[in-house]
Chain A
Amino acid sequence: MKIYESAVRKPIMTALVFVGVIILGLFSLRNLPVDLMPDIDMNVLMVVTTYQGASAADIETNVTRPLENVLNTVPNLKELTSFSRENRSIVMLHFEFGKDLDELTNDVRDKLNLVQAMLPDAAEDPVIMKFSADMIPVIMLSATADKSIPALYRILDDNVANRLARIEGVGAASIAGAPQREIHVYVDPIKMEAHRLTVEVLAQKIGAENLNVPAGSMDIGNETFSLRVQGEFTDPNQINNIIVGSFAGKPIYLSDVATVVDGFEERAQENYTNGVQGAMIVVQKQSGANTVEIANEVMKALPEIQKNLPPDVKLEVINDTSDNIKKTIAGLEETVLLAFLFVMIVVLFFLGRWRASIIIILTIPVSLIASFIYLYATGGSLNVISLSSLSIAIGMVVDDAIVVLENITTHIERGSRPKSAAVHATNEVSLSIVASTLTLIAVFFPLTLVTGFAGILFKELGWIVTIIMTTSLICAMTLIPMMSAHMLRLDRNPTKLTLKIYGPIQRFLDKLDILYAQLVNWTVRNRAKTLILTTLFFFASLVPMITVGTEFFPASDGGFISARVELPIGTQMEITKDLAMKLTNKWKEENPEIEMISFNVGQASSFNIFGSLQASGSNIFSANIRMVELNKRSVSVYELIEKIQKELDVLPEVAKYNVSTGQGGMMMGGQSQLAIEIYGYDFKETDRIARELQTRLDNNIPGLSNTQVSREEYVPEYQVDFDRDKLALHGLNIATASIFLKNRINGLIASLYREDGEEYMVRISYDPRYRQSLADVENILIYNNQGQAIRIKDVGTVVERFTPPTIERKDRQRVVTVSATISGTTMDKAVAAIQGEIDKIDIPSEIIVDIGGAYEDQQETFADLGLLFIIIVLLVYIVMASQFESLTYPFIIMFSVPFGISGVVLIMWLTGGTLNLMSFIGLIMLVGIVVKNGIVLVDYINLNRERGMGIIRAVVAGGRSRLRPVLMTTATTIFGMLPLALSQSEGSEMWRPMALTVIGGLTVSTILTLLVVPVFYSLAAAIGVRRQSKKMAKKFAPENQQAMSY
């Protein structure tokens, strides 16, 4: 018994199987986490090797190169870059996407074992670090305070950070911008010198006084008591009373030579939100944890946390990454619902019957829900990809159902009882719906096999659409006949209401049928004219191609800007802070779109995990700007970025800046970055070319902004050059001398002061007054073993020097990168212009200049997709050829594909879109979608011919009879995509090009397919008939007949 036969015979089983699927699917949906993107394994490993005391060039030769030579052989490696700077070598390994990072880590570790022996003895063992998307903070909170500023760090640490870190999935909650308490002992070098005291001695004395010592236990009477000395300071002021020495029989108290200040660590980062000082709390997730869940938990905990804080401490959210995710997903959910609604309307429009429409529409939820089971089973999530896949599939799942239902209706109208009509009608079309579903699967299944960057994006899309299409096929062959058998009735006398509503539509569609039949009749009789006209149209439609640009990935507007502004190196924090204050206030005033702006300034302490990952320094401030919601503003994030960039451009005190959409980082959204890589060993030459290129890009190419040269400028610093002979003369060595220097300027941690279970550092250093000039450094006293005091200026000189910058390498060659952001032009134009500028620069033969960055990714991905396109076209051809058992017909149908391309070019031209990754995918999908129309048409024309019609009559009648199903399936697909193309919600920028591609391509291709396929068919069929008759004539020619009859 065939599957549809048993489905009709056993309606209860069929219905309950589908009910079961729906229940399972809804259960899966309830448990599906929400995320922005499918789980992406990061593909970068970092090998860090420390070699104290080596210069950048030494590191490059002795550490980085041997490492690179060995690591280069690790399998699956895509790119090898390295940074050699003073004391440290960092080798970054970029792997192909989608590989198991743990396995790669093991490979790298094996290779490192090989190379370890070759590294200098003094170099430490290389450490492997993983890069991951989890480092991107989930939530950034700001805490502003007024009176509580001094204790802010502790308040936040106790009440906020610790509380948040307890939330499941939170990896770290770190506080930036709240200075930590520190007890300073500021010594007066002159008094110290008078008493022959040193910082080291003071530290020792403080350490010796700040002790708790257990003294054992003693028995008193029948009991045992333990004895201890509680010598620790209970008040920082007690440090003042320590006796540090004696002079002429009188004790010298610490207060005689130093002052104790209970204050904050020096050189801390400061944070301001909307102009009010406070701190920033950064919440990062554990790897694999769900961003939205964590953010929800954090948000839930915040009101309670706020209650426990002092009244002047206010918590505010700076950036909640889950917000963007939630909005994007909500927008997409709306899109899916709208698509569902549109498809319903289209089905009703064409069918005009409630029962039939309901049967067809029912396939949509059933098929979609089946994909949730897949997602749940494979640990997927509701994300941009999976939801868009649903939206894409909605218009296509009804196609099979429509074909089946239409045939069942025909059978019922011919007089069959619904039950037998359902079985026989399904039987008739089963082969053709299997074939048309197979062509779609031939398009989407290969997407699951794509590797690289595109693979991550489209694996899930491929699987989901494949699963949905398969389910819809099963539905069309079981659920639809079953329901038709029980629900469809022969409706000979429609009610007045139906007639009134549906009458005009019916008349319109009938008229359309007749018009189309006349048109086809004309075209097949004027084949040459039709072909010339359509060919002309095809080439004319390609003309706008010149104006359509390409880019890699559509930029999206997340409403978040991060800006890093650098002043000249060495600028004091106060000055940087003033500028930051001035600028942020100005931005906030001038741009009402800005909802909140916060910035931090200064050197991040080493305890601050998040801060230490970013560039920080007294001359740098980084600002985070959050804009109001997308639909409440008219200014896009890019326009604001450009405005800010323009303002920064004219400020003379700004040395360097970087303003970008700080979301997602490497892949999603953001504007495209172009990187021009200059390979060459010679620093001077490459520097020259890089600078020249930078000026040329700035001056000659419009539409590029934010050009930067990766190699930093030479950094000025003071160095103390010790004279070894003089040091030796005084019985000193460099190590002793430099430690003395460090203890006085940077300070020496003498002990830890404990209060309420917290530990604070007691740091001894020169009073700030005595470390403000070079003379202060030169006057520092060093004591040797004989107790003699020697000034630094007697054994060395203080000089200003420039340290060489970090040496960057890529694929084992030194490289300088000039990067630029594309805004206001398209990638292909920018690349062409840049290439022109490069050609004008005088470049020696040993230096190679390459354009990389997003352009490189684009080229790679487009090459991959181009190959995929060809494979898919071949696969679709194979499926069609096997269905028709002919090599000609599929070829005829394939003529719809070039017209699809015409449509894509036209719609891109009309809407000002660009060709990017997403539209390319749309184009690939188009191959499967447009040929479906051809299949339906050719299949029916063939049928007519088998029934004995002549070629032209078969074509005209076939076209007329298939017009409605073709229009209907096309309309469902187009209207299903429409919400995706029109959506204004967050993240919609990403899918718009794809939806537009499909809509444009399918519209143009359908119209032309309906005209051209009949023409080509009649041509091919005529040739076939002529050949056949020639063959026959030959076979039955008199001489042959004789031979045959012996």
Chain B
Amino acid sequence: MKAVFIHFDQAHKDDVIRILDKYMVHGFTLWDNTQGRGTRNGEPHYGSHAWPSLNNSIMTVVENDMVSKLKTALKELDEISPMLGLRVFVLNVEDVY
């Protein structure tokens, strides 16, 4: 079991959810209007006058073999429009009930 933590420009929301649907990932948690900026050249997403864009964050917990499929699909999506920004972080999950 792995937790996949996805942060992306809110313009990607519909596409990200479509990808999750495609891989039959049923459960996730979505945070709306999250803020942040990228490490290298990501534009800040602050929802302010200067930086008006905002992020969404999704956390989903999937089986191990699903992780690479998801990662590839999301990477593909990010590469279509690198200016918007999308990052995936994979974490270990100790336990679920």
Contacts and interface: CB of A to CB of B under 8 A. Distances in A.
A240 interface: no
Contact of B48 (A411, A417, A421, A946): A946
Interface of B: prevailing SS: loop
Nearest to B13: A420
B11 interface: yes
A414 B52 contact: no
A46 B61 CA distance: 91
Interface in B40-91: 48-53, 80-84
Interface in A402-428: 411, 414-417, 419-421, 424, 427-428
Contacts of B83: 414-415
A416 B11 contact: yes
A946 B51 CA distance: 8
B95 interface: no
B81 A415 contact: yes
Contact of B11 (A417, A942, A943, A944): A417
B13 A416 contact: no
A424 B53 contact: yes
Given A428-B52, A946-B50, A415 B80 contact: yes
A684 interface: no
Contact of B84 (A414, A427, A942): A414
B21 interface: no
A420 B13 CA distance: 9
Contacts of B49: 942-943, 946
Nearest to A420: B11
A946 B81 CA distance: 25
Which interface class (under 10, 10 to 19, 20 to 34, 35 or more) fits A? 10 to 19
Interface in B1-22: 9-15
A947 interface: yes
Contacts of B12: 420
B11 A424 contact: yes
A424 B48 CA distance: 12
Given A414-B81, A415-B80, A420 B14 contact: yes
A415 B84 contact: yes
Contacts of A427: 52
B81 to A, nearest CB: 2
Contacts of A942: 49-50
Contacts of B81: 414-416
Contacts of A943: 49-50
Contact of B51 (A420, A424, A947): A947
Contacts of B82: 415
B51 A411 contact: no
In this complex, the member of A414, A421, A424, A943 whose beta carbon has the largest number of chain B beta carbons within 10 angstroms is A414
A586 B81 CA distance: 83
A944 B81 CA distance: 23
A421 B50 contact: no
B14 A424 contact: no
B72 to A, nearest CB: 19
In this complex, the member of B13, B14, B84 whose beta carbon has the largest number of chain A beta carbons within 10 angstroms is B84
6 contacts: A414-B83, A416-B81, A419-B14, A424-B52, A943-B49, A946-B50
Given A420-B10, A946-B48, A946-B50, 18 more contacts: A414-B83, A415-B11, A415-B80, A417-B11, A417-B15, A419-B14, A420-B11, A420-B12, A420-B13, A420-B14, A424-B10, A424-B11, A427-B52, A428-B52, A942-B49, A942-B50, A944-B50, A946-B49
Interface of B: 9-15, 48-53, 80-84
Interface of A: 411, 414-417, 419-421, 424, 427-428, 942-944, 946-947
Closest 6 interchain pairs by CB? A415-B81, A946-B50, A416-B11, A414-B83, A420-B11, A428-B52
